[in-house]
Amino acid sequence: MMAPLSRWTNAWIAFLLPAMALAQSDTLRMDSVAPVPALRVRSFAEASLVDSLWSDSLWVWNGPCDGTVRAFRFEFPDSTYCRVDFPCVLEATQPTGLNAPMTAAVGGTQRQAWTGQASIARIDLEAMGRKLVATSCFPPASSAEFAQLLAAMEDAVFESEKCAVLGEVSARLCLTRNQMRQALSLIPSEDRRLETMEHISRSDTEWTEPELRELFQLNFILERALKRFAKR
């Protein structure tokens, strides 16, 4: 048979109980905080491809660009994404290596490269509009792949062949809006151009009115294009 607890033991237990309850409450609060879901961050550039996971409150990046802007896709766990474009700047770098002194002596020019710095808070990103990942296409076609497409279209004798080449390649590669515009300009007939444009445009391709006016000079074709693609 166990002996009854002494007054000192009872007092000690009474002292420990609030602390134990507080520690348990803190543990429950920590366990109840849901982890922040990771976002997939993707960006394509000839200089470097970005494909990483991000789960912090602030996203920061710096690196090379292909031109004045670098686009980033932030893909959410619910299969949606938003795109954010960040500006890049052209920087001059001194020539390096064994040829540097000789280059400087003959008045050679500095090598130039585009670089960018970007940051965005997660709370701002979550407030942006999103699109379904399934409706988009990534990564975009490289400059080498696009050059092959232009060469194939220029080699095609008949206009129908040019349209077929562009349609076939657009089904395999993710052509950017600018690449589509350049390729479409190689199709002489504006009605065929519009027909091909409707075929190769994706749901994530957002044409601007100035681009449409550049592609179509005939008023009745332009009106059809504006009605189909422009948001007015």
The total of structural domains in the chain comes to 2
Name the DSSP letter for residue 174.
B
**Predicted TM-score of the model (pTM):** 0.69
Q: Of 168, 174, 100, which Cα lies nearest the Cα of 139?
A: 174
**Structure-block tokens of residue 29:** 């609060």
Distance between alpha carbon 182 and the CA centroid of its chain, in Å?
Answer: 21
Q: Is residue 203 part of a domain?
A: yes
pLDDT band at 7 (very low <50, low <70, confident <90, very high): low
Contact 74, 81 (CB under 8 A): yes
Q: Whole-angstrom Cα distance, residue 75 to residue 40?
A: 5
Q: Is residue 74 part of a domain?
A: yes
Q: Hey, how many other C-beta atoms are within 10 angstroms of the C-beta on 105?
A: 8
pLDDT band at 8 (very low <50, low <70, confident <90, very high): low
Q: Does residue 116 sit in the same domain as residue 154?
A: no
Q: Return the pLDDT at 104.
A: 42
Q: Whole-angstrom Cα distance, residue 146 to residue 70?
A: 18
Q: Is residue 70 part of a domain?
A: yes
